[in-house]
Amino acid sequence: MALHVTQDELDSVVEIERNVSKHLSVVNDIFSWEKEVLASNTGHEEGSVLCSSVQVMAAEAEIETAAAKRVLWSMCREWERRHTELEAAKKKEKPAPSEATLTYIKGLEYQISGNEQWSETTKRYMNLPEFQQQTATA
């Protein structure tokens, strides 16, 4: 695919990119949580520090990690809704955004959905006994 977006066009979608980045990061944190906990418990001390939105949400809200994941899923759904709003607003701008800009924005949407679908189906996260146990009780 030969998509050419200028720097000015990229600058005009920074808010959309930030919104997408939040979604991508949090979905990754939700799905990788058990793997990261396992690594922190079995890995080298220097490379095994947990840093995850799941942990932060659980600690700040004083809730269990399963509850933190549910809250984070709700946030992801809101970021998806926000993406749709930002895309609609961009389409109404004058002058109208280029076709390349709109295609880029649609590509960001596909990145969100692709990341979630991949995370739901990859053996990278699904092979962990802790995941199977957490999923059954969540």
Q: What pLDDT digit, counting tens, does each position of 21-44 carry?
A: 999 999 999 999 988 888 888 876
pLDDT of residue 48: 66
Residue 135 pLDDT class (50, 70, 90 cuts): very low
Q: What pLDDT digit, counting tens, does each position of 70-112 carry?
A: 999 999 999 999 999 999 999 999 999 999 999 999 999 999 9
Specify the long-range contacts of residues 97-102, CB closer than 8 Å, at least 24 apart: 97/9, 97/12, 98/5, 98/9, 100/3, 100/4, 100/5, 100/9, 101/5, 101/9, 101/12, 101/13
pLDDT of residue 41: 83
